[in-house]
Structure 1
């Protein structure tokens, strides 16, 4: 039986010898991330699928490097040395006056496809990734528009209560493809939080330039099962449809909670009743399309 082909649109490859990932050199105080505080290289990643899944492309998403250009340069060398089609979503600050110049430097590398700037803020400061409301700054919209002018995309990582703001910004940058990370990170796991999440997804999906990446579900559901993630996956697919959604592993981060094959088996089980053409879009073809990955 043929292996299921995957283009994985959300992975992280980090080599600690580059010295641009100090946050992975020492485990956190509680030791919860100790298993990934080491180099994670493409050779290990390519073994994750085993005999069950065939990885035919991947997208490295920035891993909070201290030197964004060095990260892109390093990944270009990795891509050049391996047959796997590999592209990168780099790091950058949309609000910086130097953002266009940074893009010029990133675009020297053929694997560069766009930028991720995490904007997650939460009333509980322990859940916030940033200390200021980036989307409220005028430069953020200017940065989004600059990406669109260059044919580049933006990876959007946020929480549900920020989705309406993001949707309004997307409407003002219609030429920029925006890729929602981790299915929108449903963080507040009560009825009110679920209603807010559903409404936020619909606000985002109303903008035709936004697509969804279903990934990273273990980060907010550490002991997840296929059944615990099924409602979230089905909600995302209902809202965005199979033409504007894709599955991803978020490895090695989600390696803290599960193994690679379990992630993809769950996605496969949840979508087993879909027509094969729709499954192929979710597992392979949409990622190729949205990130411009050669077959």
Structure 2
């Protein structure tokens, strides 16, 4: 099975600062204490090798909550890996990461300078800023509605200047506002992370919010979706427990604007690399060869330009 993995995280806690790994805790996502060790290219190569028949052709790195005081340093380090550092050459993943989705707080006054610095690196393809806000403190990431911030929105518009996409991580309750943002900026490509993070899944209202929010986003032709991170809400997942979320997402966005991704090593807390990719393959086994190629490889290549 050949895949392009458009959502992975690398970190080196010996050389870089990641506040969430410096003081790891337990959250709905899992036990971060089990992630408080280096995870670099060679580790992903190992996880893929253990899968046996999963051949990872390319990867896209999504910012890993690196030190917010110096977000550009993470991109500098990742570019050095892609350019062939000693660690990179020692692995089978030559050139990884092929694409970099960098971190930027678009509400900061110096956001334009940060975007320019990120864009100067050859493999930078986009920006992610986590936006998840929830009334339950257990699920709330940022406690602030960035989508309603005038400075944030003004700086978001600068992504078009640098040809950068935006990885959109949010909850269903925020999707209508995000769809309005997408309509206002049709020249900026937006990729919804983790199938929209269906958090309130134990109620009819929660399901409706996810379904209708995803439809609103999918109505914007500049929006695509990554089917990933499902284990964060389903720690004991099975193929059958993932199936309805995968199929509903595909029905909403269509095969043309969807892609599978691993969210490793975060999802490694709840399953192996091979098990995850084989689960995706099982769920779409009835799709045509061209549809499977799009979901597992070519859409990620197209949307991240790798």
Fold shared by both chains (TM-score > 0.5): yes
User: Which residue matches 1:27?
Assistant: 24
Of 40-49 and 76-85, more deviation after overlay is shown by 76-85
User: Which residue matches 2:54?
Assistant: 53
User: Which residue matches 1:212?
Assistant: 225
Of the three residues 128, 131, 135, the one matched with 1:119 is 131
Change (3 A) 1:260 1:29: closer
- Gaps in structure 2 of 5+ consecutive residues: 89-93
The correspondence of residues 173-252 of structure 1 with structure 2, limited to 5 A, is 173-189=185-201, 190-252=203-265
Shift of 1:29: 5.9
Corresponding position: 1:270 with 2:256 = no
Shift of 1:114: 1.1
Shift of 1:271: 0.5
- Gaps in structure 1 of 5+ consecutive residues: none
Is contact 1:56–1:85 with CA below 8 Å preserved after alignment? no
Is contact 2:83–2:95 with CA below 8 Å preserved after alignment? no
Shift of 1:192: 1.6
The CA distance in 2 between the partners of 1:126 and 1:29, in whole Å, is: 10
- Structure 1-normalised TM-score? 0.95
RMSD: 1.3
Of the three residues 12, 27, 31, the one matched with 2:9 is 12
Instruction: Give the number of aligned pairs.
Output: 290
The CA distance in 2 between the partners of 1:263 and 1:287, in whole Å, is: 17
The CA distance in 1 between the partners of 2:218 and 2:189, in whole Å, is: 12
User: Which residue matches 1:284?
Assistant: 297
The CA distance in 2 between the partners of 1:90 and 1:179, in whole Å, is: 14
User: Which residue matches 2:91?
Assistant: none
CA deviation profile, 1:157-179 (whole Å, cap 9, x unmatched):
00001100100111111110000
User: Which residue matches 1:136?
Assistant: 148
User: Which residue matches 1:161?
Assistant: 173
Is contact 1:25–1:38 with CA below 8 Å preserved after alignment? no
The CA distance in 2 between the partners of 1:223 and 1:29, in whole Å, is: 16
- Structure 2-normalised TM-score? 0.92
Corresponding position: 1:100 with 2:119 = no
Shift of 1:100: 1.4
The CA distance in 1 between the partners of 2:251 and 2:157, in whole Å, is: 28
Q: Secondary structure at the match of 2:167?
A: strand
